[in-house]
Structure 1
């Protein structure tokens, strides 16, 4: 935080996430009030996933071609305009879906640009600490502001939540205007979007470690999509818990996710340590199996604190390794591809999880989730070991 460029990026992303917390709560409540069904609320999630699948292959080359800070500012301004427009179309569920789609589309460009900029602002040895700071701010914002967003909606209506979100994007853009990034490697020459996208995929497929990390990302998404969405079903059908107890389970995940990066940065500053990158996959797999086996509120809460810790530390170390390993000129394309892998795996998992739960029971979903996470850890470990052998 003593480094001004990083501090500006941290402020911009954190302020933007404050608005996101208000928007997420208000959108879910608004759509439910318009449709009266859980399926309607699920439509918002689908509207947020589809842009990643459609636009990631275009966003990656664009992020690598143009100044990344400019891409982030443009994405913020577009999202601000969409957020401010929501109060004027809140009576139409299809218009709300369209705005949710647009907000997610802006993130498809913003997120790879942000991830690609960070290694240019800090040293490789600072990546773990830098990502920890960003992640902790995001989690704490969600924990603190999500309940406040509900109060704002109840007291003042949906409009204020959407206006707060729009203002957060404008504030983020204003901070980013003063972010100076050291010049990166200039592209060898402009080529077509198709060739640039194909080059990114070719590098990913040919790089043993990046390929292994991509496999781990997809397997992790196949697990997390269903287990995250169906935790409420596990709580009611297997753990026999009530609605208030389910809130405690979510709080336990938040506590673990908030403290994880703080603990992590005390143990390592090396983004290439396999245990810290892949261990969280194993930890989350153990938790999924424990949740499907154990019973009772206290054991479940303890397990979910560990799950939150594994999720946060895993995200920090995984991103740090990816940033350290990816060539600068390809970062936008690589991060956009990883986002697409995550969201596609999450969508498949969401669709399959409910079917598996209906046929085999909710515990089968969590046991299968554990197996997928163990497989993700093995895939990543295999790639890291092979890469080390090649370098030696």
Structure 2
């Protein structure tokens, strides 16, 4: 897996991702402490609202941004988004009002709504081999976990010698280094696509996504992952500072436990996915998350057990969501891949749009136990929907017929009216076969 870092293109993209996420991790810790300073015990509600605004930007703007940049070169799009994020982060140390937090989050995540799907859709073109891509997904998961492990640890050290306001400077530096790394990288050109109307480009990814059973199941599992992670992200600072009377450093330790568990799972997944298919692996992770939430709703843990449970939550979270790129790649042609990745980005963040404010407001109103009970029930609903929507077995090659195409259509010239091949929703295949 680590040999991929030597890849001339992926290695630089991975380094850019690491730098951007290190800075995002510092931003997460600093925003939590800023919210606690401005709102006290109501910081959970403030952060829940802030992250809901973030999700609104992701859900509402990512399909529009994806359609607008669909024909633009990838490198300028990625660099431009990084520079915008750096410029917004530069203003964060000067925030003195809660509404300013909301505005900064919206502007920052508007740029991220352009950057992230474009970045994710580039990796399959850089690494066409499926095993290499699976390993790249695990490395990418590790990079995301730096936000929950190395960044909080680094923040904890920095907080010993400086105010948390200076952590925002690290965010700016990370985005600038990310932009420089991408600037020095030659990315694959976008594959030629049909000239489609803007409205078609805007909705194509979501139409393909929702017409594919395995992706509908992925969306349900994302709801479970969002329920668990929303509580961790929104309420860790409140639980540690108010519930355990902890310090800023204890907040960093708790977040590091969550990230450490996620990293352990990410390291194990490439080997595990060679022996098992994606569905049972992802379902097992979602079941673990649900059990962890419901158990803590009944029994409040002490500090050592709390850290263990946070680490196990990280394991379940990574197991549930790390393989998602494999499903997206399998479910779209190369020309439609950016649109499908954008659809996953928007629809998955719609799940967090539900769970972030729910986690924050419920914690403020009722406390830790009832909040985890509500989120645990939501997680169980996600597992039940995935079992129903994502058929067991999930064959790639599916026999089907084409009653909707004329006999002389080029797609039918080779194999005839009834045939079997790897089934993907596209211009010739509008609906998933249900009867073979």
- TM-score, length of structure 2 as denominator length: 0.76
Take 2:83 and 2:235, find their aligned partners in 1: how far apart are those partners? 35
Is residue 148 of structure 1 aligned with residue 157 of structure 2? no
Structure 1 equivalent of residue 391 of structure 2: 382
Q: Residues 231 and 28 of structure 1: is their aligned pair in 2 closer, same or farther, counting only changes over 3 Å?
A: closer
Give the aligned partner of residue 27 of structure 2.
23
Residue aligning to 1:291? 296
Matched, 1:120 2:125: yes
State the match for 1:268 in structure 2.
273
What is the CA–CA distance in structure 2 between the aligned matches of 1:98 and 1:379, rounded to whole Å?
A: 40
Superposition pairs of residues 348-387 of structure 1, within 5 angstroms: 348-352=354-358, 354-355=361-362, 358=366, 361-362=370-371, 364-379=373-388, 381-382=390-391, 385=394
Cα deviations by residue, 1:128-149 (Å, 9 ceiling, x for unpaired): 2111112213313532222433
Q: Which residue of 2 aligns with 1:340?
A: 346
Unaligned runs of 5+ in 1: none
* Contact 2:191–2:334, Cα closer than 8 Å, also in 1: yes
1:46-57 matches, within 5 Å, as: 46-57=52-63
Matched, 1:90 2:98: no
Verify the 8 A CA contact 1:285 1:373 in the aligned structure 2.
Answer: no
SS of 2:195's equivalent? coil
- Aligned-residue offset at 1:68: 2.4
CA 1:379–1:72 in structure 2 vs 1: closer, same or farther (change >3 Å)? Answer: farther
The 2-side partners of 1:151 and 1:303 are apart by 24
- CA positional deviation for 1:330: 2.3
CA distance in 1, matches of 2:143, 2:137: 10
Q: How much has 1:389 moved relative to structure 2?
A: 5.6
Q: Which has the larger radius of gyration?
A: 2
Shift of 1:319: 2.4
List structure 1 runs of 4+ shifted beyond 6 angstroms.
231-237, 244-248
Residue 216 of structure 2 corresponds to 211
Give CA-to-partner distance per residue, 1:74-105, whole Å, 9 cap, x none: 10011112222334x43454334322211111
Q: Give, in angstroms, the shift of residue 366 of structure 1.
A: 5.0
Per mean C-alpha deviation after superposition, the further-off stretch among 375-384 and 333-342 is: 375-384
Which stretch of structure 1 is more off in the superposition, 55-64 or 223-232?
223-232
SS of aligned partner of 1:268: helix
Q: Which runs of 5+ in 2 are unaligned?
A: 400-421, 423-435
Shift of 1:252: 3.5
- Corresponding residue for residue 202 of structure 2: 197
Distance 2:349 2:319 in 1: 20
Paired with 1:202 and 1:350, the residues of 2 have a C-alpha distance of 26
- CA distance in 1: counterparts of 2:276 and 2:189, whole angstroms: 23
**Separation in structure 2 between the aligned mates of residue 21 and residue 95 of structure 1, nearest angstrom:** 20
Paired with 1:319 and 1:260, the residues of 2 have a C-alpha distance of 16
CA separation of 1:4 and 1:183: change in aligned 2, threshold 3 A: same
Q: Deviations over 1:9-36 (max 9, x none)?
A: 1000101111112222223333443444
Q: Given that residues 252 and 304 in structure 1 are in contact (C-alpha distance below 8 angstroms), is that contact kept between their aligned partners in structure 2?
A: yes
Cα distance between partner residues in 2 of 1:241 and 1:85: 32
2:403 aligns with none
- 1:319–1:176 distance in 2 versus 1, CA, 3 Å: same
SS in 2 for 1:180: coil
Partner secondary structure for residue 65 of structure 1:
coil
Is the alpha carbon distance of 1:271 and 1:188 closer, same or farther for their aligned partners in structure 2, counting shifts above 3 Å?
farther
CA distance in 1 between counterparts of 2:84 and 2:380 reads: 41
Partners of 1:26 and 1:231 in 2: CA distance: 13
Other-structure match for 1:13: 17
Check whether the contact 2:85–2:175 (CA below 8 A) recurs between aligned residues.
Answer: yes
Partner SS state of residue 73, structure 1: helix
Compute the RMSD of aligned alpha carbons: 3.4
